[in-house]
Structure 1
Amino acid sequence: MPTKNTLRNLLENCLFVWVGLSLILTLAPAQYQFPEIIQVTGRAHPLILHFPIVLLLLGLIFFFLPALQKNPEVKEIGEFTFLFGSNLAGITVIAGLILAREEYEGDALLLHQWAGLGVFLLSVLLYFFRAKKASIKTTLSLILAAGIVLTGHWGANLTHGDDFLLAPLKSEVQDLPTLAEAEVFRDMVNPILEAKCLSCHKEGKIKGELRLDHVEGIQKGGKTGPLFVAGDPEKSILFERIHLPVDDKKHMPPKNKAQLSDEEMMVLQEWIAQGGKFDQKVEDSNPESELFQLASLKFEKNKSYDFEAADQETIQELNNFYRLVTPLYPESPALLVSYYGIAAFDPESLKDLKDVKEQVVEINLNKMPLKEVDLEFLKDFPHLEKLSLNFTDIETKHLQAISEIPNLQDLAVSGNAFGEKDFQALENMTGLRKLFLWQKGISDSQKDQLSKSLETTEIDFGFDGSGITYELNPPSIKQDKVFFSDSLKIEITHPIPSTEIRYTLDGSEPDSLNSLIYTNPVWVNSSGKLRAKVFAEDWKGSNSSVTVYMKAGLSPEEYKLLTDPNEKYKAQGARTVFDKVKGKNNHTSGEWLGYSEKPFDIELKHDKSHKIKSLGLSLLYNESAYIFPPTRVQILALENGKWITLVDDHPKPSEKIEEIRSELLLYPIEDSNFEKIRVTVNPITSLPSWHAGAGARGWVFIDELLIN
C-alpha cells in the first residue's frame, strides 16, 4: 500500500505530465484529428470539470487563511486537496483541448481555452510555491479564484450562449411589434433558432460548419449544403432534420436538448414555403396561411392609443353621405376620416373635423378637388399619422402646410403635377416614414435628390411606364376568423394607396370594369369566397387574393357516415364535419377526414322547421400531397319516400401544383323540406399525366359540412 509521500510524489510528477500534454495539444495543428477513443475522453470534459473547481477552491481556503497553516494535519489535508484539484484541472484541460477540435471555434472558445490553461498552470505554480511568504500565496490565491470564475463564465457562454450568467439581471420585457410592423424572420423564425438551435450553431461552436447566429451563416448553410430550398420545405435539410425520429442521430435538435414544438416546426416550414425571405413582413403572408394565423395571435393587430375617445354623438353628426368617420378598429379612440364623391365635396366641411382633431389619425381625401382649399388647419391635428391626397391638384402651398403636421408618418401624393418648388417642399418632410409619389415625368436626378434628403423615408416612385407593363402585387385580405355566427368583417389593403381594388363575393375573377370597388371593409353574413385584384393605369392587374368565410351552419338531428375514412385520417369521425372547427392547412393536423379508395358519403336528418337554403363543403387542396379537387359532388334529398338529385357537380380539376389552400364549394338548395339529405364526394381515381404521381389515386380531405 503506497505511503502518503509516495502518493504525493506520484501526483506531483503527474502535474508535469499534464503540463506537457496541455502544451502539446495547444500547439498541435488545428486540422489534426484524434482517434475515437481519445474523442470520448474529450467529451468527458463537461463531466469532470466540476471536481477540480470544488477541490481548487477548497484548497485555496487553506492557502488564503494562514491560521489554518499552524495545524500540521489541517495543512496536510489542504495541500493534498489542492494537489488532487490541480491534477484534475490538468486532466480537464486536456479533455477540453481534445473536445475543442470537434467543431468549436471563435473568440469565445479562445477565451475559455486560454483561461482554463492559465488556471491549471497557476494552480501548479501556487502548489510548488506554497512554502513562500503568505502575502505571495494570498495574491496568487486571489488571482486563481478570479481565473476559475472567469473560466467557468466563458465556458457557460460557450455552451449556453453569450452572457448566460447575467442574462436574468439584464432581461427586459420586450414590446412585441404590432402585426403591421412584425417581420417573419426577425420576429417569428429567429427567436426559434436562438432558443432551440444556437447552442450548437454559433460563434464558438459551429457544429456541421453551420452558423445560425447571423443571416450570412444561415444563407451559406453547412457542410451538407444549403440549410433550406426556398419555396420547397420537403427538399430542405432543415425540414428533413427536424422531422426525423428523435432517436435518429441526425435529428435536430439532439434528443438531449429542448425539442421544437409543433407550432415552431410549422413556423419554420411556412417560412421556407413562402420563400425563406429575411425581410418579409408578416402582413405580406397569405391571410389563410398557418403562419399568418399564428402571427395574428402572437402580435397585436392594431396600434394602441392612449388619448380619450371622441364623443359618439359628435362622430354621428360628422357622418353623412360624402364623409365617413369611423374608429380605426373596434374599441379604438383613433379615428379614420374618408371623403367620397367629387361632386358632393364641400371644402368648408373640413373645418367640421376640428371637433375630433385630437382623435383623428388618418384622413383620406383621394380625388377630392383641393386646389383652392387651405390645409393649414391640419397642423392642429396632433395625432394625424397618415394623409392620402392622391389626384387632388395640390400645390406648393399645400405641401408647406402639410410639412407642419407634427406627427405625420405616411403621405400619399401620387397623381399631382409637381414642379421644382414642390420637390423642395417635400425634401423638408424628414419625419416621414413612407412617401407615395407616383408621378409621371420625374427625372432620375429629382428622385436621387429627394432620396438623399429623405434618407430614412421609404419612397415609392412607382414606375416611368416607358413601354413596359408591370404586374401589380396582389392585395392583402384580413379577417379575424374563418368561422362566424352572425356577420364577419373583411378588410382588403394594398401598399400602393392610389391603386383600385376590385372584388367579388361569388368566387369569380374580379375585372376592372364590372366588379365591386373596395372602399370600406366588407361585411358578410353568409358563407362564401371573396376574390380581390388590384388595378392601376399603365399596370397589369394583379393576381387574385382569395379568402373563404364560413357561417356556422345548422347542426343536423342525426347523421352517420356511410363510408369510413382512411384509418390515418379519421379525425373525430362524422362529428368532425359538424364541430365548427376549421382545419389547418395541413392534412396531418388531425382535423380532416381523408378519403382515397372510397368516396366521402354521409347521410343526415335535420329539423324540418328549418328550411335549407344552401349546403357548403370545406375542403383542402394540396396537389403536391395528392390532394385534389373532387371529381364529382352529389347531393340527394329524400322527399316523400323518394330520393331526388339536388346537385350533381363536377368541380374544375387542378391543372398544376399550387400552394396548399382551403376551398369552399357552396351549393344553393331549393327552399323545401326534406326527410333526409345525402352528400357524396368522389376523390380523383387517377392523377393526371403532368403530376409526378401520374396514374396514382388521389385524395379528398373534408373538415366541415355547412348547412344554412
Structure 2
Amino acid sequence: MFKISSIRSILESTLFVWIGLTLIITLAGNSLVLPDWLQVVGRSHPILLHFPIVLLLMGLLFFWIPGIDKKPEIREIGEISFLAGCNFAGITVLAGLILAQEEYTGEILTWHKWGGLVVFGGCVLLYFFRAIQANIIRLSSVALAIAIIATGHWGAGLTHGEDFLLAPIQSNEIEVIPLAEAEIFGDVVQPILQAKCISCHKEGKIKGELRMDHIEGLQKGGKSGPFVLAGDFEKSLLIQRINLPEDDKKHMPPKNKAQLTEEELLILSEWVASGASFEQKLVTLPAKNELYQLASVKFEGNKIYSFDAADKEDIQELNTSYRSIQALFPESPALDVSYFGISAFPPKSLSDLKIVKDQIVRFSLNKMPLAGVDLKFLKDFKHLEELQLNFTDLNADQMKVISELNTLEVLAISGNTVDQASIQNLAKMKSLKKLYLWETAMSSQDQETIKKALPETVIDFGFDGKGIIYDLNSPIISQAEMIYQDSLEIKLSHPIKTAEIRYTLDGTEPDSTSSTIYTKPIFVTNTGKVIAKAFAKDWNGSKPTESVFMHSGIKPSEFSLVYEPNSKYKASGPATLFDLEKADASNHGQKWLGFQDEPMVLEVDFKGLSKAKEISLSLLYNEAAHIFPPEKVSVQGLENGTWKTLASNSPAVSTKALSARSELLTLELENTNYDKLKITLTPLAHLPKWHQNPGDKAWVFVDEVIFNQ
C-alpha cells in the first residue's frame, strides 16, 4: 500500500508534467498541430473541471482551520486534497487549451482561458509556498477562491450564455411590441435563433465560422455557404441544415439540443421565402401571407379573444360604400369597424351594428358629423377597446356617455372642443392606456389637470412647434389594382389634413413649387408611376412614396422564350408575363421569372393586332438577394428578315442594398415597321464591389411585359 509520502511525491512530480505541457501549448498557440485523438481529451474539459473546483475549494478551507499547525494529520489531509486539486486543475487547463483550438473565439474565451491559467499557477505557488506566514496564505487563498469562481462564471457564459448566472433574479417582464412596429427579423426570427442556435454560434464559440449573435455575422455566412439567400432554399445554409434528418451530423440544432418546433420551422422557411429581410416590418406583408398569419398573433393588438365570431354573411351585408367591417387580424373574431365619406354618412345606420355588438373591438367615426347623435348605443359594445372620434363635433353630453365606457383602452377625440365638464368626465377614465387630445382648445392648466388625473395614461396633446422642424410622413397612395384595362383611379391622402400633397407621373421626384398639387382623384389611362410627397408649413417635406400602374394594353398573338427561366423561379413559364397578375415584391418564389446564367429573350408576334409603340417591363429589385436591374435592355424589331434595334436602356444600379421593391421600366420604340419583336434582358455579369458577394452573377426577375400603342 502506498504511503502518504509516496502519494505526495507522485502528485508533486506529475504536477510539473502539467506545468510543462501547459507552457508548451500556451506559448505555441495555434501554430501547434495536435493529433485528432487529443480532441477527445479536449472535449472532456467540461467533465474534468468539477474535480479541481471541489478539491481546491476544499483544500483552501484547511488553511483557515485554527491551530492546524498543531494537527499534522488534519494538515496532511488538507495538503493532499489541495495537491490533488492542483493536478486536476492542470489536466483541466490542458484539456481547455486543446478544446479552444477548435472553433472558440472571443473576449469571454480570453477571460476564461487566462482565468484558468491564473488558477492553475496560483494553486501551484500556494502549495509550494504553503509554509510561509499564515496571514499571507489565508489572503492568497481568498484571492484564489475568487479566481476559481470568476473562471467558472466565464466558462458558464461560454456554454450557457453571458447572463446564465444572474438570469433567475433578472426581470422576466416581456416588452409588448405593437404590431405596427414589429420587425420580421428582430421580433420574430431572431428570438428563435437566440433560443435554438446562438449557443453554438456566438462570441467565444463560432462553429462552422458562422456567428449568429449579430446581423453582420449572419450576412457574412459560414464556411459552408451563405446563411440565407432571399427566396433560395437550395443555397440558404439555414434551410439546408434545419431540414436534414435529426440523425444527420449536419442537422441543426444538433441532436442533443432543443429542436425547432413545427411553427418555428415554418416561420424560418417563410422568412426566407418572403425575402429574408433584416429590416422589413411585419405589417408590410399581405394579410394572407403565411408568415404574417403565424407571427402577427405574438404582438400587441393581436391577443386572443374568447367570444364567438360573428356570422360571415352578416359582416358581408354590413360592409357598404360608407362602412367597412373587417377582422382585427386574420382568423380573429374581433372586428374593426370604420365609417368614411361625410356626405354619405347616415346616422341611422349605427343601429345596424347591434347584430355584431359583441364582436366590435375597434370603432372609428373620424370626421363623421355626430352633432346631436345619441351615442348611448356604444354601451352595447361590451368588448370595445379603441374608439376614434376625431373631428366629430362632440358636445359635453356625448363626452359623458363616452366616459362611461369602462372597457376603453384607447380614445381619440382630437379636433373636438373639450370643456371643463368634459375634462372632469375624462378624468374618471382610469382604464385608458392612450388618449389623443390634439386641437381641443385645452389650456396648459387643463392639460396638467388631466395628466394628474390619469397618471398611467399616455396622453398626446398634439404637435407644439416651438421652433422644431420635423419630417412629414409620406402620403398614402390608394389604387384598386396595379394592372387595369380601361382607366384607373388613384387617390392620395395624408393623416395631417393641412398638408399639401404634390405628385408627378413622369418618374421625377415632386418638389414644393412646380409639381402638381393633389386636389382630387387622379385618373390614368396609360402605364407609368405616380410619385408623391407631402409639404406643410413648419415641417420638412416627406420622403417620396411611389406606386406603379400598368394599362393592360395589347396581348401578343404569339410569344415564346428563347431560354427557359431558372427552374427555381419559373412560375407559369412565359404565360406569366401576360397573365395581368402583379407579383408580390416580398415573395420571390411565386409569379416571378428569374434569369441568371442566360438572359431573358422574349420573342412576340402581333399577327392581326395593332403593333405596340411602347413596352413596359415590371421588374423586381432586391440587392441583398442578388436581384439587380438588367445590365442592358434591348428591343429589336424583325424587318425584312433582319433584326434592328428599336430601343435600348442600361438602368442605373443602386450603390447600396435596398428593400425588395417592384420597378417599372418603359421604352418607346423608334418605329412600328416590324414583323416581330425581341426583348432581351441581360443580367448583371458581376455584382458591384460594395456588395457582400462582389463578383457573383446577378439575377433578373420579371413578372409582366406590357405593350401599348
Structure-2-length-normalised TM-score: 0.55
Offset, 1:452? 6.1
Q: CA deviation at 1:636?
A: 4.4
Secondary structure, in 3 states, of the residue corresponding to 1:394?
Answer: coil
**Structure 1 match to 2:700:** 701
One-letter amino acid of the counterpart of residue 618, structure 2: S
Shift of 1:663: 0.9
Question: Which letter does structure 2 place at the counterpart of 1:191?
Answer: I
Residues 573-584 of structure 1 aligned to structure 2 (within 5 Å): none
Give 1:381 shift.
0.3
Distance 2:401 2:348 in 1: 17
Identify the residue that residue 242 of structure 1 maps to in structure 2. 221
Contact 2:282 2:292 (8 Å CA) reproduced? no
Deviations 1:199-227 (A, max 9, x none): 4647xx6889xxx99xxxx8xxxxxxxx6
Cα distance in structure 1, aligned partners of 2:193 and 2:21 = 36
Q: Distance in 1 between matches of 2:328 and 2:49?
A: 61
Residue type at the aligned position of 1:48: S
Q: Could you tell me how far apart the structure 1 residues matched to 2:315 and 2:271 are?
A: 44
Equivalents in 1 of 2:105, 2:400: separation in Å?
Answer: 64
Q: Are positions 1:593 and 2:572 aligned together?
A: no
Query: Residue 366 of structure 2 corresponds to which residue in structure 1?
Result: 366
1:47 to 43, 46, 58: 43
- Cα pair distance change 1:448/1:528, threshold 3 Å: farther
- Taking the TM superposition and a 5 Å limit, the aligned residue runs for 1:483-562 are 513-514=518-519, 516=521, 539=539, 542-547=542-547, 559-561=560-562
- Cα 1:391–1:424 change in 2 (3 A) is same
* AA partner of residue 188 (structure 2): D
Match of 2:295 among 282, 292, 299: 299
Contact 2:618 2:662 (8 Å CA) reproduced: yes
Paired with 2:348 and 2:475, the residues of 1 have a C-alpha distance of 34
Amino acid at match of 2:197: K
Q: Deviations over 1:431-488 (max 9, x none)?
A: 3344333327666666566556555545444312456653322367899999999xx9
Q: For residue 472 of structure 2, what is the aligned residue in structure 1?
A: 472
* Distance in 2 (alpha carbons) for counterparts of 1:407 and 1:668: 60
Q: Which amino acid aligns with 1:95?
A: L
AA in 2 matched with 1:704: D
d(CA) in 2 for partners of 1:269, 1:423: 49
Q: Are the structure 2 counterparts of residues 454 and 415 from structure 1 closer, same or farther at C-alpha, using a change threshold of 3 Å?
A: same
Given that residues 502 and 518 in structure 2 are in contact (C-alpha distance below 8 angstroms), is that contact kept between their aligned partners in structure 1? no
> Matched residue of 2:542: which SS?
coil
- 1:22-37 equivalences under 5 Å are 35-36=28-29
For the 8 Å contact 1:177–1:300, the answer to whether it is kept is no
Q: In the TM superposition, what whole-angstrom CA distance separates every residue of 1:6-41 from its partner, at most 9, and x where no partner exists?
A: 799866644456789999999x9xxx9755389999
Corresponding residue number in structure 2 for 1:411: 411
Tell me how far apart the structure 2 counterparts of residues 45 and 681 of structure 1 sit (CA, whole Å): 58
Q: Identity of paired residues, percent?
A: 30
2:190 is matched with which residue? 189
Look up the match of 1:386: 386
In structure 2, relative to structure 1, the CA distance for the partners of 1:415 and 1:175 (3 Å cut) is closer
Letter of the 2:295 partner, please give it. Answer: F
- Opposite residue 388 of structure 1, the aligned amino acid is Q
Secondary structure of the 2:342 match is: coil
Mapped contact 2:560–2:574 kept (Cα < 8 A): no
**Length, aligned pairs only:** 565
| Cα separation, partners in 2 of 1:198 and 1:502, compared to 1, 3 Å | farther
Give per-residue Cα distances to partners, 1:656-698, cap 9 Å, x unaligned.
86835331336899xx9x974422457899999xx99xxx9x9
Gap change, CA 1:492 and 1:385, over 3 Å in 2? farther
CA positional deviation for 1:500 = 8.1
Is the CA contact (8 Å cut-off) linking 2:548 and 2:664 kept in structure 1?
yes
Does structure 2 conserve the Cα–Cα contact (< 8 Å) formed by 1:616 and 1:664? yes
Find the aligned partners of 1:246 and 1:645 in 2 and give their Cα distance.
43
Q: Distance in 1 between matches of 2:315 and 2:534?
A: 31
| C-alpha distance after superposition, 1:396-454 (max 9, x if no partner) | 44333223324333322222233455445444434334433332766666656655655
State yes or no: 1:659 paired with 2:652.
no
Between 577-586 and 461-470, the greater mean CA deviation after superposition: 577-586
Distance 2:654 2:44 in 1: 63
C-alpha distance in structure 2 between counterparts of 1:633 and 1:539, whole Å: 43
How far has the Cα of 1:388 moved from its partner?
1.6
Q: Which residues of structure 1 form unaligned runs of 5+?
A: 57-81, 122-150, 168-173, 219-226, 229-236, 275-279
Q: Structure 1 residues 369, 267: closer, same or farther in 2, change over 3 A?
A: closer
Letter in 1 for 2:44: I
CA spacing shift, 1:191–1:313, aligned 2, 3 Å: closer
Q: Deviations over 1:169-190 (max 9, x none)?
A: xxxxx99989546345233334
For the residues of structure 2 that align with 1:463 and 1:621, how far apart are their CA atoms? 37
Does the Cα contact within 8 Å between 1:104 and 1:206 map onto a contact in 2? no
- What secondary structure is seen at the aligned counterpart in 2 of 1:592? strand
Q: Distance in 1 between matches of 2:589 and 2:354?
A: 56
Which residue of 2 is the match for residue 463 of structure 1? 463
The equivalent of 1:308 in structure 2 is 308
Residues 668 and 408 of structure 1: CA distance in aligned 2, closer, same or farther (over 3 Å)? farther
Q: 1:38/1:707 Cα in 2 relative to 1: closer, same or farther (>3 Å)?
A: closer
Q: Partner residue of 2:69?
A: none
Larger mean Cα displacement after TM superposition, 503-512 or 542-551: 503-512
Q: Deviations over 1:66-116 (max 9, x none)?
A: xxxxxxxxxxxxxxxx9xx9898555444367689985759x979x989x9
For 2:409 and 2:116, the matched residues in 1 are separated by: 51
List per-residue Cα deviations over 1:367-410 (Å, max 9, x = no partner): 22224333232122022233221111224443332233243333
Q: Which amino acid counterpart does residue 365 of structure 2 have in structure 1?
A: L
What is the CA deviation profile of residues 618-661 of structure 1, one whole-angstrom value per residue up to 9, with x for unaligned ones? 324478989557776537488xx889999857698679868353
User: What's the RMSD between the two structures over aligned residues?
Assistant: 7.2
Distance in 2 separating the partners of 1:587 and 1:183: 19
User: In structure 2, what is the equivalent of residue 131 of structure 1?
Assistant: none
Q: Which residue does 2:94 correspond to in 1?
A: 95
Contact 2:505 2:530 in 1 (8 A): yes
CA contact (8 A) 1:11 1:87 kept: no
Amino acid at match of 2:409: Q
In structure 2, the gaps of 5 or more residues are 53-80, 125-150, 168-173, 227-236, 239-248, 254-264
Q: Which amino acid aligns with 2:217?
A: L
Q: Is the 8 A contact 2:273 2:587 kept in 1?
A: no
